[in-house]
Amino acid sequence: MSTRAETIDRGEVVLPRRMRGLQPTLIRQFFERALPDSINFGLGEPDLPTPEFLKREAARIAVEEQNGYTSHPGIPALRTKITEQYPHLNLPVTGVVVTCGSQEAMTDAFMCCVDQGDEVLLPDPSFPAYDACTRISEGTPVYYRMPADTEFAFDIDEFRSKITPKTKAAVVISPSNPTGKIMTADDYRQIADALDGTGIWLLSDEIYSDLYFEERPRSASEFYERTIIISGLSKSLSMTGWRLGWAACSDPKMINAIQVLHGFTTVCTSTITQKASLLAWTDEAEAAKQHARDVYKGRGEFLVDLFSSEMGLHATSPEGAFYTMLDVRQFGEDMEVAEKCLQNRVVTVPGTAFGNEAKGFLRISFCNTEERMAEGVRRMKEALAV
Ligand SMILES: Cc1ncc(COP(=O)(O)O)c(C=O)c1O
C-alpha cells in the first residue's frame, strides 16, 4: 500500500487503483497519428452539418438570453421531452437526468451501479469505454461473445453462461458500435428472461437509436425493468460537440443517485445547448434525422459493395449507426493491417480495439462522402497490395 509520504519521498506519482492502466482508446491513438490528408474511416463522428435551425437557435439564445446554471438534472421542459421518448415507462420528469453527452451518463451509471469486485457483462466486441468505466468503478469486466462467425449477432447461451452471483450489471448496445448490428425484440426477451429476479442492472446504450436503416430499434427498457437508458443527440443530429446526453431510469433511487453524482461532476450541461435542444423533437428535427438515416444507409451500402467489388473483401452489412466490420483476416494481424493503411493515409480502427472477437477485422466508419470513401478504398487496396 502506498502512503502519501512514500509518494512524496520517491518523487513519483502513484495513481489510485481505479486509474491504473487506463489508456486512451486505440480509436484515438490511431486517429492522432493520421498523416496529413488522410481519409478518415476511423472516428465515429458524423460529418453531416448540424441542422441550421439548431445553430440559429443556439446563437439566438447565446446573444439574447441570460444563461446561468440550470438545475442539476436539466431544464424540466427538456427532461419532459425526453420522458416522452419512452412512453412505455411512463416516467415522471425526475426519471431523466440531462448530462454532458451520453458518455457522462454512461460513466455516472457505472459509478452508481458497480461496486469494488462486482462483475459487469460486456459485449465482445463493443465500445471500449465500457471496459474503462467498469475499471473506474473498480468492477471486473466479463465479456460475452457476439460471435464473428454469425456476423456478430447476440447469442443468449453465451450471455447466460457468463452470469455469476457476482454479476452486478450488463451492457447492451443497439445499434452497435462497432458492428452496426441491431438487437431484436427476441434478443431482449431472452435477456429479460435470463436476468429476471437477479437484480442485475441492464445498461442500455441507445446513442445510435435514431440511426437505423430498416425498422426502428427497440429499447431494452421495454423488456426489462431494471434498465438504465443511456442516450443523447450527438449522433442523430450531428451535435457531438454540443454535449447533450441523458440517463433515464424508472427506479427513483438509481436515477436520484445518478443526479447527485452528475451534480458533483459537471453541475449541468451547457444551458445554451439545453435550451436549443428543445427543438430536437420538432418536425424539422425529425426530417433531419430521417435525412441522416437515408445518407448513412446509402453510404453503408456503397462502401460494403466497394470492398467486395474492388478488394474481394467481406464487410458486415450495417443495420444502423455508421459502422461496418471489414474482414481482413487473410492479411494477418489487424493491428498491422491498420498500420499499413495508416501509412498510406487511411485511418481505420483495428478490431482488437473492441475485443478479442473482432481480431482480424477493421472497424470502418462511413462518415465520409462517396468520393472520399472510394479514394479510401483505393488507398487501402494499394497499401495491402490487393
Ligand atoms: C457507443 C457509444 N456510446 C457513447 C458514445 C458517447 O457519445 P456522446 O458522449 O457524444 O453522447 C459514443 C461516442 O462515440 C459511442 O460510440
101 close to ligand 1 (CB < 6 Angstrom): yes
Pocket test of ligand 1: the residue of 47, 234, 246, 349 to mutate, having most ligand atoms within 8 Å of its CB, is 234
> Is residue 118 in contact with ligand 1, taking CB distance under 6 Å?
no
pTM, rounded to two decimals: 0.96
Residue 2 has a pLDDT of 47
pLDDT for position 5? 47
CB 54 within 8 A of CB 237: yes
Ligand 1 geometric centre to CA of 108 (Å): 14
Render pLDDT for 21-55 as a digit per residue (tens, 0 to 9).
Answer: 898 888 888 889 999 999 999 989 999 999 999 99
Residue 214: per-residue pLDDT: 96
- All domains in the chain, ordered by first residue: 4-50+285-381 (3.90.1150.10), 68-279 (3.40.640.10)
Digit-by-digit pLDDT tens for the chain (386 residues) are 445 544 555 678 899 988 988 988 888 888 899 999 999 999 899 999 999 999 999 999 999 999 999 999 999 999 999 999 999 999 999 999 999 999 999 999 999 999 999 999 999 999 999 999 999 999 999 999 999 999 999 999 999 999 999 999 999 999 999 999 999 999 999 999 999 999 999 999 999 999 999 999 999 999 999 999 999 999 999 999 999 999 999 999 999 999 999 999 999 999 999 999 999 999 999 999 999 999 999 999 999 999 999 999 999 999 999 999 999 999 999 999 999 999 999 999 999 999 999 999 999 999 999 999 999 999 999 999 98
Task: Determine if ligand 1 sits within 6 Å of the CB of residue 177.
Answer: yes
Amino acid at 364: I
* 234 close to ligand 1 (CB < 6 Angstrom): yes
Interatomic CA distance for residues 180 and 165, integer angstroms: 31
Paired with 330 in beta bridges are: none
Assess contact for 370 and 296: CB atoms under 8 A.
Answer: no
Among 153, 123, 188, 126, which residue's Cα sits nearest to residue 316? Answer: 153
> Ligand 1: distance of its center to the CA of 103 in Å?
6
Which of 31, 100, 103 to mutate to test ligand 1, by most ligand atoms within 8 A of the CB atom?
103
CB 380 within 8 A of CB 347: no
- Cβ–ligand 1 distance for 108 under 6 Å, the answer no
- Name the DSSP letter for residue 240: G
Q: Whose CA is nearest to atom 6 of ligand 1?
A: 103
Q: What does the block give as the cell for 190?
A: 431472452
In this prediction, residue 21 carries a pLDDT of 87
238, 114, 241, 103: which is closest to 169 by C-alpha? 114
* Residue 42 CB less than 6 A away from ligand 1: no
Q: Is 245 close to ligand 1, i.e. is its CB under 6 Å away?
A: yes
Going from the Cα of 240 to the center of ligand 1, the distance in angstroms, rounded, reads 8
Contact 276, 285 (CB under 8 A): no
207 alpha carbon to ligand 1 midpoint, in Å?
A: 6
What's the confidence (pLDDT) of residue 30? Answer: 87
State if residue 123 touches ligand 1 by the CB under 6 angstroms criterion: no
Atom of ligand 1 minimally distant from the CA of 102: 11
Find, among 322, 336, 332, 331, the residue nearest to 373 by Cα. Answer: 322
Cα–Cα dist 67/194, whole Å: 46
* Ligand 1 close to Cβ of residue 350 (< 6 A): no
SS3 326: strand
| Vertex 33: Cα angle to 32 and 38 (nearest 5) | 95
Whether ligand 1 lies within 6 angstroms of the CB of 231 is answered as no
Ligand 1 pocket member 365 (CB < 6 A): no
Of 82, 85, 114, 86, the residue nearest 98 (C-alpha): 82
Distance separating alpha carbons of residues 228 and 224, to the nearest angstrom = 10
Paired strand residues for 346: 39
Residue pair 230/206 in contact (Cβ under 8 Å)? The answer is: yes
* H-helix or E-strand spanning residue 341: helix 334-343
Question: Angle, to 10 degrees, between the axis of helix 370-383 and the axis of helix 283-311?
Answer: 30
